[in-house]
Copies of this chain bind each other. A is one copy, B any other.
């Protein structure tokens, strides 16, 4: 397929690379910032522009990989109305396209991306949605060329997936940051905890996290919990988080899925 990539951030970069590796032809990269457009275009061996009016009309598919808040703005000025266009957002509804386009959809890869760290797309789940069967077929074909894991998910469900991903990814990262902060404060290297974190992640690849729960709250070990809260007495926010998550672990340990 001939593809134009709109955006030059983490998702645009990693998706662009994966599509090119799967023998699609990247025609052009658009970014508001000319230097960012140029950087990504170089990686994908294609042309670039920072002017929405100069986007090529020749692509089979336009991949809109910009931040959520920029989607509206880009769509307002994007004038190739017969385009097949998809966005890559977890939280923006497919309705964002409905007034202006005939063939549109969503291509949401459930993964955390960064420009510098390349990922293997083959095992990354992609959530697909489309406004008609022919577009669905086209997007599915594109997804199949880079991943084995395709899920047909509507906009309401996708928002829930995105919310769950915020808990599993963004919020857990913040807990790692809290742990880092505590150790750094004690002049202890965060390296002491680094090996623990991937192990926790691997444990739940085949088991349910609910069943893998361990720790003082799960054991109901009041003495250790009180000791921990005492240690957190001058860290109000961390103390609140400790209490709230411990309560939630206790509540949930009686639950079944």
Which A residues have a C-beta under 8 Å from some C-beta of B? 67-69, 91, 110-112, 114, 117, 119, 123-125, 127, 149, 151, 153, 157, 159-161, 163-184, 186, 188, 190-205, 208-210, 212-219, 221, 223-224, 227-228, 231-232, 237-238, 240-242, 244-245, 247-249, 251-252, 255, 257
Q: Specify which of B169, B192, B200, B205 is in contact with A112 (CB 8 Å cutoff).
A: B200
CB pair A153–B188 under 8 Å, yes or no, is yes
Taking CB atoms, residues of chain B closer than 8 Å to A149 are: 191, 195
A179 to chain B, nearest CB (A): 4
With known contacts A168-B193, A200-B169, A204-B194, A257–B184 Cβ distance under 8 A: yes
- Please report the C-alpha to C-alpha distance between residue A213 and residue B174 in the assembled complex, in whole angstroms: 7
Copies in the complex: 2
> 9 additional contacts, CB 8 Å, given A151-B192, A159-B227, A170-B216?
A164-B180, A165-B193, A166-B215, A167-B178, A168-B179, A168-B196, A171-B241, A177-B210, A237-B244
A173-B204, A173-B212 known; A167 vs B194 contact (CB < 8 Å)? no
Within the complex, which residue of B69, B208, B213 is in contact with A221, where a contact is CB–CB below 8 Å? B69
Dominant SS among interface residues on chain A: helix
- Closest chain B residue to A204, Cβ basis: B176
* Contact across chains for A159 and B231 when beta carbons are under 8 A apart: yes
Q: Which partner residue on chain B sits nearest A193 by CB separation?
A: B168
CB proximity of A215 to chain B, nearest CB, Å: 3
Q: Are A173 and B214 in contact (CB under 8 A)?
A: yes
| Residue from A172, A196, A244 with most neighbouring chain B CB atoms (10 Å) | A172
Contacts A170-B217, A175-B172, A198-B198: A192 and B228 contacting too (C-beta < 8 A)? Answer: no
In the bound complex, how far is the Cα of B114 from the Cα of A202, in angstroms?
12
